[in-house]
Amino acid sequence: MISSRVRKAIRGWHLLLIRYGSDDYLRTMAGETDRNVGRPRYSILPMKLSLSPTGEVLLSFALPVHRRLGTQFRCFIDTRKGDMGPSVLTGMLKHYDEIDVIESEMPEPSRVYFTLKRFPVVTTAEGIRQNQVRPE
């Protein structure tokens, strides 16, 4: 059965907290205190996958949002090696309207990164796309 093979290929669903603040603000306007707060974090937080009563797949997570600077993040699936590797998972994720898969430049990546379309997407100076939640 393909669904059990897909589940076995996935170690977990995670969120990578990149930093607090936008690259542009931190580079051009931030003072020393904000630059320190906005330093790269690369903290890994768990995401929970569940089904709604109507059968929709739901991803849930607790994202710390800095009250003044906002938060940059990216989601990923941590994969296991095997025949149901990242290419199959990437293909599966592309069927969801709310997910935008970030293609890997590595031949056999251990993570499949993606952004969520419900949050703004920013591109870093290095050309990496990630989500950003702005402060309220």
Q: What is the chain's pLDDT, residue by residue, as a tens digit (136 residues)?
A: 346 667 777 888 999 999 999 999 999 999 999 999 999 999 999 999 888 888 877 889 999 999 999 999 999 989 887 656 666 677 777 767 788 888 888 777 888 899 999 999 999 878 899 999 998 7
Distance separating alpha carbons of residues 26 and 38, to the nearest angstrom = 7
DSSP for 64-113, please give it.
---TTT-EEEEEEEEE-SSTT-HHHHHHHHTT-TTEEEE--SSSS-SEEE
Q: Confirm if 13 and 48 have CB atoms less than 8 A apart.
A: yes
Strand partners, 78: 12, 111
Split into its structural domains, the chain has a count of: 1
Domain, as residue range, for 36: 2-133
Distance separating alpha carbons of residues 29 and 18, to the nearest angstrom = 19
* Global pTM value: 0.84
